[in-house]
Amino acid sequence: MKRTVKILLGVAVTAGLVYFYYTEVKPVVIFGLRSDYARAIPYQKIPEGIDSLKAESCGACHKEIYEEWKTSIHAQAYEDPFFQAYWKKDHNIWVCLNCHTPLENQQPTLIKDIPRGRVEKAAQEPNPHYDPAYQKEAITCAACHVRDGVIFGPFDDSVAPHPTKFDPNFRTAQVCYRCHNVVSGPAQFYNVGPCGTYAEYEGRYFMKEKGLICQSCHMPEVERPVAVGGPIRQGRRHLWRGGHDPDMIKRAVAILVQADPMVPKPGERVRFTMTLINAGAGHKIPTGDPDRHVTVEFLVQDRDGTVLDRQTETMGRWILWQPVVLEVYDNRLLPLASREYRFVYRLPAQSAGLTMKTIVRYHILTDGQHAMLQEKHGLTAKDPYAFTVYEREFPLSGELATALGQQKVDQQAACPAEGEAIRAG
């Protein structure tokens, strides 16, 4: 009888501790709260001289900037099908909106209190200023530029039909900090938070020696009038291309394949080495969402395309999500770092027509996550969740040396003109 009582008591205590852990300790989202993004950006009124806060109103004068913004992931941050599916998975928890629709004007409820930092216990009330159409603009112009009826920007001599004010933060990476440096919470042991690109930024070479900030690559400089009829200025394009854009990944990663021997003969072992270099990103590759990863693949094929041998390796983060969040392993490429991937294949006696295909793919999320979001959370995205960064075939014959040498010519032709630090080789 006493043994039964002890067992029941132990079960009750264990159940109570588990309940306490999940309701009072472990966050219900995969990040902790920090004061600047724990709440929406306070309600902003319309500055004098313009008719609304909507991006279209800004576009009346800032036409080129507006057209660029419309193509950006910032403009799509709310309606993005991947966000919507993940948000549904997280029961549409309000805190996600603080970065995806950051203005109080865009949110259906006001957060009055967050007891003990538990987002699921937040005291909410209806927001009388909520504009559902404005919510769809996601990270809109006013989210960065409007505060207290004044339009802030990077110039100290602006002449405009509305109040303006110079803000030096626009000339630093500080404007990216709020949403691209999400921190860990209790029972979350990341090396860098789940959206921690800002914290990864390499400061010695890219920032101090080259003078580059986030905007240098993600908002390239351009000379043009900022507004219709204004003077030509050194401004920036409002594009924010990043991990969803194949060209940005291709510009950041240099890839070179080598072989030994370079003129293989039947029966010989050919040793291939693929070198990946993070030549152009000031942060790790991949960065941002923990599901993002890169695969490196070697394929030996016959003349009919039949795969005779294959090797695949993965670069990314491996995270344990339960019962605590624990970053187990991280083999992503640091800025300016390189990594070699090796593959060995013995040529058969009859090797005519054999080729080695090398493929590097960038994945927004895993195949399993993609299937789960489709089956359970309504993901209907047509945009690719993986894309090829590099693909090349090399003949396993006497022509291999010529094909290997052609790589350098192709890389030089593909180099972007923006500058040394973002070249692809």
Q: Which long-range contacts (CB under 8 A, 24 or more apart) does 145-148 make?
A: 146/44, 146/47, 146/53, 147/44, 148/44, 148/45
Q: Which residues are 269's β-sheet partners?
A: 346
Spatial contact of 104 and 41, defined as CB atoms under 8 Å apart? yes
List the one residue out of 3, 159, 154 whose CA is nearest residue 65: 154
- Checking phi first, is residue 36 left (phi over 0); if not, alpha (psi -120 to 50) or beta? alpha
Query: Is the pLDDT assigned to residue 423 strictly greater than 70?
Result: no
**Angle at CA 360, nearest 5°, toward 289 and 311?**
110
pLDDT band for position 341 (cuts 50, 70, 90): very high
Query: Is the pLDDT assigned to residue 420 strictly greater than 70?
Result: no
Query: Is the pLDDT assigned to residue 294 strictly greater than 60?
Result: yes
Q: Counting Cβ atoms within 10 Å, is residue 210 exposed (0-12), middle (13-18) or buried (19+)?
A: middle
pLDDT band for position 424 (cuts 50, 70, 90): very low
Query: Is the pLDDT assigned to residue 278 strictly greater than 60?
Result: yes
What's the pTM? 0.89
For residue 410, what pLDDT is reported?
54
Q: Which residues are 224's β-sheet partners?
A: 233
Average pLDDT over residues 296-325: 95
> Residue 394: which H helix or E strand, with range?
strand 386-395
Output the DSSP codes for 8-56.
Answer: HHHHHHHHHHHHHIIIIIS-SSSS---TTTSSPBPP-PPPTTSS-SSHH
Higher-confidence residue: 352 or 40? Answer: 40
Query: Is the pLDDT assigned to residue 24 strictly greater than 90?
Result: no
Q: Which residues are 147's β-sheet partners?
A: 150
For residue 408, what pLDDT is reported?
65
DSSP strands (E only) in 221-350 = 221-225, 232-236, 253-260, 269-278, 293-301, 307-315, 317-320, 325-330, 338-346
3-class secondary-structure state, position 236:
strand
Higher-confidence residue: 419 or 38? Answer: 38
For residue 233, what pLDDT is reported?
92
Count how many residues are written for the chain: 425
- Sheet containing strand 150-153, edge to edge, reads 146-147, 150-153, 164-166
Tokens of 407: 């790589």
DSSP 383: S
pLDDT tens sequence across 60-82: 999 999 999 999 999 999 999 99
Average pLDDT over residues 321-330: 94
- Checking phi first, is residue 419 left (phi over 0); if not, alpha (psi -120 to 50) or beta? left
Higher-confidence residue: 106 or 3? Answer: 106
Which domains are assigned to the chain?
Answer: 30-236 (no CATH), 246-316+328-422 (2.60.40.10)
Higher-confidence residue: 166 or 350? Answer: 166
Query: Is the pLDDT assigned to residue 101 strictly greater than 50?
Result: yes
Mean pLDDT over the full length of the chain: 90
For residue 138, what pLDDT is reported?
98
Higher-confidence residue: 417 or 299? Answer: 299
Q: How many Å apart are CA 271 and CA 393, to the nearest integer?
A: 15
3-class secondary-structure state, position 171:
helix
pLDDT tens sequence across 136-186: 999 999 999 999 999 999 998 888 899 999 999 999 999 999 999 999 999
Q: Which residues are 359's β-sheet partners?
A: 297, 391
Q: Which residues are 188's β-sheet partners?
A: 325
Residue 123: C-alpha distances to residues 38, 40, 65, 119, 222 (Å): 13, 14, 38, 9, 45
For residue 409, what pLDDT is reported?
52
For residue 325, what pLDDT is reported?
95
For residue 413, what pLDDT is reported?
39
